[in-house]
Every structure is written in structure tokens, then in C-alpha cells.
Structure 1
């Protein structure tokens, strides 16, 4: 079978679950994984015949995709902020909006003036480790910690730290119970924030495959993790330290009010590239 014929086969098989552009993107990611081809390689070689082994692997990928399994889990890997990450069903697939959060932390260059020593950062609810590892890769002198309640997630994040050759301190704990005497200049988190009533609006491939522990909170207490992390940040942030959150687009106002009630200052609610309220940055006011 020629590569272009397999592309058409992928598109037809996935048309019920994905749009044409998304199906094309999935196919290119699949051949990138199996053949190490980029888009330009496909254009130049699309009339080439695939050998039987390559065809078998790609057809197996398609079969798994047709079952509803997300491509990143099928391949067992993804790219986040230009870095490779291994994935498994115990961690969320990193999203582009989380890359925007990482960029915001990195762009806050004034962080480097918070302390004369190396920056101290902690990522809470680290999952695959994508936030912590990306920050460490870009702030190589920083002391970076990463916390998650899931042992399986910590294992994957640790593997990703080794893959990306960075030194991260991993902590397995529930942030609602975790305490430390250590101080941090930056606390960042993308905690669970999807309410149970929002489940019906979600795509099946997310509901059926991604870990609910990392996704959902109750309708009655949708900000439970934000409150716990804000309390943690208040006691552990250095003077004028910064707290960053990824948030539920429908709860921006409520999250800002929570932080105001806890005396955080310089609160900025920021939209993502789709125009949705997605991120918050605030500051722990210096204690006079």
C-alpha cells in the first residue's frame, strides 16, 4: 500500500470521530512516530510503498484509534513545550493551554529577582511532569519540586525527568494534607477542575481513557484544590512569591474571589488563545 492510500484509509476510518483536518494531523503524527517522517517527508514520499512491517504497525495504530483511544496513549508519548514526554493512562495528556501557562511563568522574568539564590519552584499535581520539567529545562539553575497524589503518575514523571535529563525532586502526597517547612518562590498548578455536571459535554475519548482522578471535582466544591493550594502557597511562598493556576474557564470570577479572600494581591486573570479565562497569576503580599 502506498503512503497516500493509507492516509486516505485513515481519514475515512476516523471521519466519524474526527474532522478531516484532525484526522490528517493524527495520520501525520502516526507516521512521524513509526517512520520518523515530517509533513515535508510525507509530501515527497507519499507515492512510496510501505513495507509489510510498517503497514502492520500503522494499521494496529488505526485499530486502537477506532476504539476511541487517544493517539497520545496509543503511541505512549507526546511533545510538550518542545520536549518529549512518555504517557500512560495514569496521567493526563498535556494540553496546549498548559503550554501557555508554562510560557507565562517563564515570561515572568522578574521572578529571578525574587531571591538572590536559585529560584525555588513547585508544581502541584504534576501528572506527567510536563510543567515541572519544562520549567527546569528553561530555568536550569532552579530548584524544582513536583508533587502528585498518584504513585503511578510520580513514576511516569520520574521517567520523563530522566528522558529530558533534568533533576526534579518528586513528592507523592495529597496537597490537602501535605506540609513542609521549605520555602518556594513560585507555586504553579493545573489541578483537577472539571465539575461532574460538565462530564456530559466531554468527548468520549477523554472520559473513557484519561484518569478521572486528575480531571474531576464535585459540583458542590469545584474549587477544593484551589483553596488547598492557595493555603499551601500562603505558608510556603517567599516574600512577594508568585502563585500560578490553570483554571476552569467557567470559574474565573469565583477563583479570583477566593484568592482575594485569602489576601493574595496583583491578581491577573488571563485568557488562553481561544479567548477563554484559563490562567491566574497572583502574588503573596509581603508581610509587614
Structure 2
């Protein structure tokens, strides 16, 4: 939590900084290991530990195995409901996508800031990360669509039963709505996580300001209510973490359904 002149900077939490200096370059580009890269690695490690600990295949599953089986079954059922039997081949990708976003969101909410010189970082609060995830998903839609249907994939932009006179109007609208999908995917997650963390940091500033105020009445009158509000918003943010992961996975499966089944 950066502060200058007693003021907390709510944007400092999104700053990408190298951890071991700026000297590591390749082809003129700085490839230093950053705090963003560190938290992505921690996300992958957390997912690996979660999956490894729950894949024991015991006849009577324990809580850990039940959690892993529940998560995988949840995504598998969602993919089957949206794509059909052919969606089974896409389940590993959508499950990986869901778990990465969920764990990255939750890790960014962990109160590790109480440890000196340790700051949590939410990688999904950067458009570069969410944009890459969206582009990969959209690219998969295009690859599957053209590989399965060839040029007939363009019929996706001509809704069934559209009158010929309406085609000059409908086709551009359908094309634009299709091309905007990766932008909406990436921006939705990016905006939701960024806005929530900014709000929490601003509220934290009010709490700290109330505790450091010279007037004794400021802390109970201002700091305490804001602290209670901050706790409530933190719980809401945890819910948002799960919802955003689910929405990203759900929309990806719906877009893949268009590529597989057209309409």
C-alpha cells in the first residue's frame, strides 16, 4: 500500500515491478521476472496442489477429493449442457480456464499484505492477462468453426429464417457482435476485478485515515463504519471472484457451441 504525504494511492497495487532487477533483457526487450509473473506461477502451483491432492481415486472420497470431483463435474455438466456430447473434448480447456481465473482472483484477495514487504497482486486486474485469455478462447472458436464447417461457418452471421431484404442490415450486425466477443470477454473480467480492488483500497484509506486522525472521535465515527463496510465488500468481492470465473467459462462454452453447432 503506497502512500505519499499520508495519502494512499489506490492504483499502486496494479503496478507491475521486476523482482530481481531490470538487467535481464532478450533481443532488446526487458524479460525480468515481475510480481505479475510470480503470482501467475503461484496460481499454477495452487491449482496443481489442489488437483494433485484430490486425484486419489478413493472409493469413499474425502473432502479434498470431493472438492476436485465437484469442480470438474460442475464444469463438465456446464459444457455438456451448452455444447452437447461433442463438448466433452473442450472440457479440459474450459476447466483449466475456470480454475486459473478463480484461483488468480482469490489469491489476489488474500490478506498477505500484513507481512512486511509482501503485497498481493491480482493478475486478472490487467487487461494484458484477461485479453490473452479472451484471444485464446476466441481463436479456438475460429479454428473449430472453420475446421468443422469450412466456409459454411460464415452462415453463423445469417440467422435462420432471415428475409433476403434484411440481410444487408442483419449480416453486419451479426458480424460486429461476433467480432466484439473477445473484447467483451477480456474487458468484463478486467473491469470487475480492477474496480473492486480500487474500491477496497479507497475504503482502507478511510479506515487508516480515521485511525491516524488527531481527533479521537474520527476513528469510531468514520473508521469503524467504513471498516464494517469494507468487510462486507470483501465478502462480496469473493463472490465476484467466483462469478467472473464462471461467466468467462460459460461464455467460452457458448461461443464454442456456435462453432460446433452453428445456429
TM range (shorter): under 0.3
Larger-gyration structure (1/2): 2
RCO higher in structure (CA 8 A, sep ≥6): 2
Larger fraction in helix: 2
Normalised to the residue count of structure 2, the TM-score between the two structures is 0.23
